[in-house]
Amino acid sequence: MGELHAQFSPDAEFSDVVIRVHHPPITLPEGTLFTDYRLHCVILSRHSRFFQRILTGPCRTAFQGCCGRGPRPAHDLKDATTPTNVIEIHEEKPVYFDAMIQHMYEGSYKLCEAQSGAEEIQTVVTHVGIYKTAQKYDNIGLQSFSVQAVTELLAELASSSKANPYASDCVYEMVAIKAACEKFYNMATKTKSAMGRVIASPCCACDDLVGALEFEEMLKEKPTLAVDILLHINTTKPSCQEIQRRFKAVTVREVLKEPLSRKI
């Protein structure tokens, strides 16, 4: 595997396929409509069963109805300089697709290092978006990598929150978990996914989130999230002491929300 990747890199010579990705209008500067990736069929097929089917199987001829106009000779493109195929894909965010290509060729991907709690929240959302892209293209390795990245980030936020329970770190943890839920469960219909398990665990562990009314509403709006939460609880089987602690924490928080001038 390592020797194979050492021989290839994106946009290098001997590329035999071009993936032309048409981006959503608001994701790139005005006038930038698409990005061409000059890649290698052997790399795409090894990492993505989606591209393997497109490039090697009977689905090749049916690709037109999947993501665009389908593979076509590169001489149809004015900027093409090598005899290769072109696969056109629509509505992909550059940051997600770039991460997938980087992971295919390097075994990992890197995002800009977060400098604040707000940036950490956005980084969590980006990793979740990359995971969903990996699901779309049936890329198991990328799914595992992004799941691990989300696991580590949420664990880091939880650690900071416990160390500073009355600081903004606690808020950042709750907002990050909510943002991850919104991103992942917006269209998710499958339970027990790797990312679902990673998100469900901190959901149950975050007292501020569990005690929030909006969390209850989120469970009603996203039944897949609710199922993953129940599966996590059934798997972990919290002790009676833990349940009592959580109930007390929520009760105290609700009392503190009551107006101080309320008449008895």
pLDDT of the residue at 5: 53
Mean pLDDT lowest among 101-115, 193-207, 240-254:
240-254
189 and 227 Cβ atoms separated by less than 8 Å: no
pLDDT of the residue at 83: 39
List pLDDT tens digits, range 4-63.
555 566 666 678 889 999 877 665 555 568 889 999 999 999 999 999 998 886 655 544
The Cα 186–Cα 182 span in angstroms is: 6
Residue of 47, 208, 194, 215 whose CA lies nearest to 128: 194
* Average pLDDT, rounded, for the chain: 78
Residues 6+ apart with CB under 8 A from 73: 83, 85, 86
List pLDDT tens digits, range 135-147.
999 999 999 999 9
26: alpha, beta or left? (left if phi > 0; alpha if psi -120 to 50): alpha
Q: Which amino acid is at 248?
A: K
| Cβ count within 10 A of residue 226 | 17
Q: Is 33 exposed, middle or buried (0-12, 13-18, 19+ CB in 10 A)?
A: exposed
Bridge-partner residues for 36, per DSSP? Answer: 20
